[in-house]
Amino acid sequence: MHYQQGDPAAAAAALPVPNGPGPMDEPRRGVENVLDVKYVDMPEKFDNSRKNWLEWRFKMHNWLSLIDPRINELLEVAAASIVPIKTQTDDDMKRMQHIIFAVFSSYLQSSSLRLIQAVKARNGSEAWRVLCKGFEPKTAQRKLSMLSHLLMNPDFGETDEEFLVKWRQWKADIDAYESFVGNSFDTDLMIAVMLNFTPWELRRHLQFNAAQYEDSYQRLEDLVISYLQSKQLWTDLEEMHEAHDRGGHRPMEVDRIEATVQKLKNQDPQQMENII
């Protein structure tokens, strides 16, 4: 592919190619499925206007998707995420993030450019998440909807086995809510939910042993884990997950992002070779 001088994709294409044999050295495939971006009008520079954001976002998303079809899904996942996106260690995925970041660097200015300048390691996925977060402000309706789901409609299942899975999901949803609103969730409310919506036998156990945790949700969690251990439901794997969570919850968005990245890795990696 040939680039005109000043084309932001050219800067991305100049990224170093990993040495040594590997998937990128195999013959190119699927070239006919990738449109040459030079035949498509490029988006204009973003003017930092909120009223023009959605239109610019649509054009930029589609233009980047022409560079490599896999970028489409990366951008969709990044836009939906409310937690920071980690830089990938895989060379192919990292180069794709660098391409996205290089394009943004050429099409942003002033306040929007400063937003992505704070993103580390030229992580294009994280830059897109930051842009979407910055120009698509929070809505009271979404906040109330998330809060209602956590407090009034939690689903902990009917058995201890179901509870173990759904409890972890509920905690992940709480972590997502905290990230969205920027504040910690009230632990008294968390205790109240656990005392009212958990399966009957566990609920009775928590109520009977209330003196062990009083107003501490962390101690209540310890009591829940002890209960699950007595039922032989708390495995070494669960212990590893919990140790991770104690150092910072692992929200459901992170799992979804990593699953998407893994799925993209399994697709034809030769597409990236078509633009570099």
Q: Among the three residues 86, 106, 137, which one is the final residue of a domain in this structure?
A: 137
Confidence of residue 272 (pLDDT cuts 50, 70, 90): very low
**What does pLDDT average to over the chain?**
77
More confident residue, 138 or 77: 77
User: What is the count of structural domains for the chain?
Assistant: 2
Domain range holding 230? 140-234
Q: Tokens 């968390």 identify what position?
A: 190
Residues 128 and 160 occupy one common structural domain: no
Residues 133 and 202 occupy one common structural domain: no
pLDDT tens-digit series, residues 146-157? 888 899 878 899
Residues 23 and 129 occupy one common structural domain: yes
Residues 119 and 159 occupy one common structural domain: no
Lowest mean pLDDT of 3-12, 105-114, 125-134, 163-172, name the range.
Answer: 3-12
Residues 40 and 22 occupy one common structural domain: yes
Question: What predicted TM-score, i.e. pTM, was given to this entire model?
Answer: 0.45
Residues 93 and 145 occupy one common structural domain: no
Q: Is 186 part of a structural domain of the chain? A: yes
Q: Among the three residues 137, 160, 189, which one is the final residue of a domain in this structure?
A: 137
Which DSSP string do the residues of the chain spell out, in sequence order? ----TT-HHHHHHTSPPPPSSSGGGSPP--GGGS--GGGSPPPPPP---HHHHHHHHHHHHHHHHHH-HHHHHHHHHHHH--SPPPPP-SHHHHHHHHHHHHHHHHH--HHHHHHHHTSGGG-HHHHHHHHHHHHS---HHHHHHHHHHHHH-----SSHHHHHHHHHHHHHHHHHHHHHHSSPPPHHHHHHHHHHHS-HHHHHHHHHTGGGTTT-HHHHHHHHHHHHHHTT---HHHHHHHHHHHTS---HHHHHHHHHHHHHHTS-GGGGGGG-
Q: Is 251 part of a structural domain of the chain? A: no
pLDDT tens-digit series, residues 231-254? 888 875 455 455 445 444 444 445
